[in-house]
């Protein structure tokens, strides 16, 4: 299937590794020009080399998405080098884990800046050009906890649910201009973030991480963790011309983990 994104400019946040990297690689395979960002310089440089070796027209910048000036610099550099982005993937590492009484005011502020406000700011940067072009695709990479909150992830569960609301409201505001806004909610993929959380949970339950992960996979109807490329393919489709009538949706990619019907 031709996704219709060849030659379009994409921005993918937190793309030096994990799910963000898999999304960037999928877009390169489809012929998009891809701008990637990450706080981690060495993994970012390695990913840039990999994507260019695969034939990608790639820009990589070290960026902290919680800093408004960094987001502005990344957007400006992307426009100058690759053109105004038509495809945008917002993405960050997760906020601090813990139950309510364990979490400080600073942890909440960091979570808000790193999980919600960076999304708001990036959308503000890219939407004017999308409106002028009467075309755009925005996908927020969030988490299944937006639909099924977890006690360990108090901040993430709260803010991801809010991000689903933003996805719906912004989608209705820009739909008439040919722009779609959707969210993808990953289940369990063995990224660095997932491994970190598994280490916390396994210690809480007096188990090894391997034993915890075996138990965790049994709770997933698919019986296994997801592969990053499976998530990336779903995101690539939502960024495509083919997905022009999908708007304001929060799509679970979780192997059937979440029991909610909507």
Q: What is the mean pLDDT of residues 176-200?
A: 89
Contacts of 104 (CB under 8 A, 6+ apart): none
Note the pLDDT tens digit of each residue in 227-252: 999 999 999 999 999 999 999 999 99
Residue 87 banded pLDDT, cuts 50, 70, 90: very high
Residue 145, pLDDT > 80, answer yes
Residues of the chain with pLDDT > 70, as a percent, come to 100
75-93: average pLDDT: 96
What does the alpha-carbon distance between residue 253 and residue 258 come to, in Å, rounded to a whole number?
A: 10
Q: Is the domain covering 9-187+227-252 a CATH 3.40.190.10 domain?
A: no
Answer yes or no: is pLDDT of 211 > 80: yes
Token pair recorded at residue 4: 């219709």
Which residues have CB under 8 Å from 175's CB, separation 6+? 247, 248
Question: Per-residue pLDDT averaged across 209-231, rounded?
Answer: 92
> Where do the structural domains in the chain lie, given as residue ranges?
9-187+227-252, 188-225
Over range 88-110, report the average pLDDT.
Answer: 92
What average pLDDT score do residues 52-70 get? 97
| Mean pLDDT on 22-29 | 98
């Amino acid at each position: 299937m031709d996704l219709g994104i060849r030659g379009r400019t994409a921005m993918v946040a937190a793309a030096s590794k994990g799910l963000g990297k898999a999304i960037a690689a999928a877009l390169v395979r489809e012929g998009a020009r891809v701008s990637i960002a990450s706080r981690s310089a060495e993994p970012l440089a390695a990913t840039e080399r990999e994507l260019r070796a695969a034939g990608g027209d790639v820009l990589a910048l070290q960026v902290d998405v919680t800093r408004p000036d960094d987001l502005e610099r990344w957007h400006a550099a992307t426009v100058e080098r690759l053109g105004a982005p038509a495809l945008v993937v917002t993405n960050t590492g997760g906020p601090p884990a813990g139950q309510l009484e364990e979490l400080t005011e600073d942890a909440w502020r960091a979570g808000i800046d790193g999980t919600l406000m960076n999304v708001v700011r990036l959308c503000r940067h890219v939407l004017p050009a999308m409106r002028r072009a009467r075309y755009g695709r925005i996908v927020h990479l969030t988490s299944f906890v937006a639909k099924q909150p977890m006690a360990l992830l108090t901040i993430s569960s709260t803010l991801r649910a809010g991000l689903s609301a933003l996805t719906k409201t912004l989608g209705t505001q820009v739909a008439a201009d040919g722009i779609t806004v959707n969210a993808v909610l990953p289940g369990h993929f063995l990224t660095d973030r997932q491994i970190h959380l598994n280490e916390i949970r396994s210690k809480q339950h007096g188990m090894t991480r391997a034993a915890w992960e075996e138990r965790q996979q049994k709770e997933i109807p698919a019986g296994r963790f997801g592969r990053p490329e499976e998530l990336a393919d779903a995101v690539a489709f939502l960024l495509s011309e083919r997905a022009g009538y999908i708007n304001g949706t929060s799509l679970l990619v979780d192997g059937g983990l979440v029991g909610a019907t909507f």
